[in-house]
Amino acid sequence: MAPLTKLLRKSTKETAFTEVKQILTTRPLLAYPNFSRPFRLETDASKTGLGASLMQDDGNGRRPVAYTSKVNSQTEANYGITELECAAVVWAIKLFRPYLYGDASLS
């Protein structure tokens, strides 16, 4: 019970809340897209869903412009991992098309 009693202390709770608040309000917050800079599209896939992030280098490192995810359908859940990864790329390109259209430097 010793570890549980440490969590019940007021100062520990306040410290944890402050840390969580700081993490949620500092980098990596979403950045405004700069259409004069190249975008980077990152995708991932699993049997349960697809995910993508649109990133952009702002001079201080890569910053997220947008995140998205979706749950796979029953049919998609039966795909092999290679097909799922390809599906994630196609889905993300379609979704982020307004940002990516005409960007020859997409990576």
**Which residue range(s) make up the domain with 91?**
28-100
Q: Is residue 16 part of a domain?
A: no
Mean pLDDT, all residues of the chain: 85
- In CATH, what number is assigned to the domain containing residue 49? 3.10.20.370
More confident residue, 5 or 2: 5
Which among 59, 70, 61 has a CA at the least distance from the CA of 95? 70
Q: Which residues of 64-82 are buried (b: 16+ CB within 10 A; e: fewer)?
A: bbbeeeeebeeebeebeee
Task: Tell me the average pLDDT across 59-66.
Answer: 88
Of all residues in the chain, the percent with pLDDT exceeding 90 is: 50
Q: Is residue 17 part of a domain?
A: no
- Count the domains in the chain: 1
Which residues neighbour 61 within 8 Å (Cβ) at sequence distance 6 or greater? none
pTM for this predicted structure: 0.70
Task: Tell me the average pLDDT across 55-59.
Answer: 89
